Homo-oligomer: A and B are copies of this chain.
Amino acid sequence: MTDHRIALIPGDGIGTEVLPPARQVLDAVGRRHGFGFSYTSYDDWSCERYLREGAMMPEDGLDQLRDKDAILLGAVGYPGVPDHVSLWGLLIPIRRGFRQYVNLRPIRVFEGIDSPVRGATAGAVDFVVVRENVEGEYSEIGGRLNRGFPEEMAVQEAVFTRAGVTRLLDYAFDLAERRGGRLTSATKSNGIVHTMPFWDELVAERGAAHPRVVWEQEHVDALAAKFVLDPARFDVVVASNLFGDILSDLAAAVAGSVGVAPAANLNPERTHPSMFEPVHGSAPDIAGRGIANPLGAISSAAMMLDHLGHPEAARDVTDAIAAILAGTDLRTPDLGGTASTAEFTDKLLELL
């Protein structure tokens, strides 16, 4: 029986409430499939720690995580701590330090969840957003000048490297080959004059190297519109860091499931641990009341199982999620129900 070494980082707010259910689910499917987990929990890596000690995690934080097989994160963010402090103090250093250059966001409409978009029916919408996760528009490069004076300005450098874009595109094209064979690249080469024409050239280059994939490109503004007008037409959508961020949240909303959506931050070469996290944030408004929806964290755990080499166990979990949504009325308040996190989790464990 293999033991997978898992780092748990609950973080802030409802992050601390959704990780225990995810862990219960992991233990349950592990027992059934004959593998186990050894957990290390980093309970104080959070905004509270930042307020107390001036840092979200210890200086050797990344080193403490380095020998783990995977990381499961709850959520980071807390009123009173600016988001750029909390995120650049924990989430982003892990993504970057561990070369998790693929952010993977499956988009699926579940039976039993109403989509706000008419065309988004269960079964019809099933695609994946592959987002660049370590370079691009999010960079430390830039700064501010003439603070407080009329001439004040801020600049931000977006940086796209051939190596960084190519490895992402290869991941996305490979994924398209294993899925429906179609890929859509989000660009803005009509407006952003240096980086996006370069992106387009690399897409054409990698597209030529993957002749079985039919690919197209769409300007991000038109693509956002198409997510609403015709969400069923997509298979794999590949996008830069910022575009992927916007498109994946939008797509989760189109699927009716921001509170349910999972994300994976992958290091495909497995030289470093990958990280799995629900798309929802720390939701301070409902934190501490035991009503958080655990499905985002549990779906993220399913993605982790897949990454750890247990696709059948992952499928068991997503089947149980589909079953509880299609077959019962049990819902947490974010989906219009009255179930608590614990009630909902118990029922899910029963269905597993």
Contacts and interface: CB of A to CB of B under 8 A. Distances in A.
Interface of A: 77, 82-84, 87-88, 116-119, 137-140, 142-144, 146, 149-163, 188-195, 197-199, 219-222, 224-229, 242, 245-246, 248-250, 252-254, 258
Given A142-B158, A155-B158, 17 more contacts: A84-B197, A116-B119, A150-B163, A151-B162, A152-B162, A153-B159, A153-B162, A154-B198, A155-B195, A156-B193, A188-B242, A221-B246, A221-B248, A224-B253, A225-B249, A226-B253, A228-B254
B158 A153 contact: no
B189 A84 contact: yes
Contacts of A83: 189-190, 219
Contacts of A82: 189, 197
B153 A161 contact: yes
Contacts of A146: 162
A280 B190 CA distance: 14
B229 A190 contact: no
B138 A191 contact: yes
A118 B220 CA distance: 23
A9 to B, nearest CB: 17
Given A118-B118, A153-B161, A221 B250 contact: yes
A144 to B, nearest CB: 6
A207 B155 CA distance: 23
Oligomer copy total: 2
Contact of A191 (B87, B119, B151): B87
B156 A190 contact: no
A311 to B, nearest CB: 29
Given A191-B138, A192-B137, A246 B246 contact: yes
A84 B193 contact: yes
25 contacts: A87-B190, A88-B193, A139-B193, A142-B193, A142-B195, A144-B194, A144-B198, A151-B162, A153-B160, A154-B159, A154-B160, A155-B157, A155-B194, A155-B195, A156-B157, A156-B160, A188-B242, A191-B242, A221-B245, A222-B249, A224-B250, A224-B253, A226-B253, A228-B254, A229-B258
A84 to B, nearest CB: 6
Contacts of A224: 224, 246, 249-250, 253
A153 B163 CA distance: 9
A193 B190 CA distance: 25
A158 B158 contact: yes
Contacts of A250: 221, 224-225, 227-228, 250
A219 B254 CA distance: 17
B87 A138 contact: no
Contact of A253 (B156, B228, B252): B228
A192 B242 contact: yes
B117 A228 contact: yes
A194 B156 contact: yes
A152 B166 CA distance: 11
